[in-house]
Amino acid sequence: MDPWSSETGDYSKVFSEFGVKKYSSGDIGHRFFRRKIVVGERDFHLILEKIKAGKKFVNVTGVTPSGRNHLGHYGIMEMFKFFKDKGGKNYFAVADIEAFSTKQKFSKIEELKEMTLNNLANYFAMGLEKKDVYLQSDYQSRYYSFGYEIGRRITENMFKSVYGSMDSGKFSSALLQFADILHPQLSEFEGKMPSITCISLDQDPHARLSRDMAVRLPYDFYTPSFLYIKHLGGLRQGKKMSSSEPETGIFLDDSDLEIEKKIAKAVTGGKQSLEEQKREGGEPEICKVFELLTWFEEKDKEVERIRNDCKKGKWLCGECKKHCSDVIKKLVGGHRKRIPSARKKAEKFLS
């Protein structure tokens, strides 16, 4: 499993061998739970208990700045916002050093600044506040010194057994993720507290090693909890939605026309001919348009109707793409409206 790859893969091993549990706590108030986009968890009961008791827990996530944010990022952000609204103590890492460490095209961290600004504007537009967010490259010294405390406990063998290979970029990147996830439990921050981080299954190596570290470090930490959400597939087969491959995804700054065009070209579960589809029905399970609807169509009933009608051949790709375009244009359009003031906030944050 390579958390740095942009290919999708077979993640059955994380359940069968690495101890991720199938998610089974039902809906706690977000469509991602109802639609089985949340697929797995580690120690999620710790967080559920805190939420039920109205007690504090750490809500921590990191996103590496990328040229443009796509709907996959939007999903991760929604989950972060969800746990913020549930009362979490928020630590949203803008992982600029991590991005720098793994992407060779940048020669100075400074070069990520425009990117970071764009991304921050998106986060603020989605309801995060300045106090919820930190920039890895401009954070408190305790965070960095803690990173060295973690680093000293990672051996080359330990690293290679989890990640397959070790180089200084991967090492830095992993180290920062462990520091991001664990530092809120230091006494200088919140102190010992359960924490929740939403990741995709391919990020599980980071989760495993950060849980390992929580136990090895000379601090009294809760082992961090994780929720696993599916990857939002790209619009073509076999790819994640990825910033480095713009044609595979829908971006938060796409125009309405771009959205329409991309969805029009998306891989569907439709048949070769209209007649065949009307007769045999479509396959929503493999349809990229239906996947988008599963993620972003607000109404559960509408999702079910579409699934059923598609299978029966009563709801065809043309009208489905049109409907999906409307859903996504509404979402992206609402976001677009909130950007100008969010961008000002982001500029102030970075200056």
- Contact status: 97 vs a copy of itself (CB under 8 A): yes
CA distance 78 to 35: 14
- Considering just the CA atoms, what is the radius of gyration of the chain in Å? 21
- Contact status: 191 vs a copy of itself (CB under 8 A): no
CB of 166 to a copy of itself, least distance (A): 8
CB of 94 to a copy of itself, least distance (A): 12
Task: Enumerate residues 6+ apart whose C-beta is below 8 A from 264.
Answer: 321, 325
Site string for a copy of itself, 17-36 (x = CB under 8 A): --------------------
- Residue in 8, 137, 223, 242 binding a copy of itself, rule: CB under 8 A: 137
- Contact status: 276 vs a copy of itself (CB under 8 A): no
Which strands sit side by side in the sheet containing 21-22, from one edge to the other? Answer: 21-22, 38-42, 225-229, 195-200, 58-63, 89-94, 133-135
Q: Is the dihedral of CA 128, 130, 132, 137 positive or negative?
A: positive
Distances in Å between the alpha carbon of 293 and those of 18, 20, 50, 79, 336?
31, 27, 31, 17, 20
- Contact status: 101 vs a copy of itself (CB under 8 A): yes
- Contact status: 172 vs a copy of itself (CB under 8 A): yes
Among 17-25, 116-124, 134-142, 286-294, which window interacts with a copy of itself (CB under 8 A)?
134-142
- Contact status: 109 vs a copy of itself (CB under 8 A): yes
- Residue in 2, 27, 49, 138 binding a copy of itself, rule: CB under 8 A: 138
Q: Is the dihedral of CA 265, 78, 31, 35 positive or negative?
A: positive
Dihedral Cα 264, 266, 271, 274, nearest 10 deg: 0
Q: Is the dihedral of CA 63, 69, 72, 75 positive or negative?
A: positive
Q: Which is nearer to a copy of itself, 213 or 287 (CB)?
A: 213
CB of 145 to a copy of itself, least distance (A): 4
Quick one: tokens of 233?
A: 């597939």
| Residue 7 DSSP SS3 | strand
- Contact status: 93 vs a copy of itself (CB under 8 A): no
CB of 147 to a copy of itself, least distance (A): 8
User: What is the contact surface with a copy of itself in residues (CB under 8 A)?
Assistant: 97, 100-101, 104, 107-109, 136-142, 144-145, 148-149, 151-152, 154-156, 166-169, 171-172, 218-219
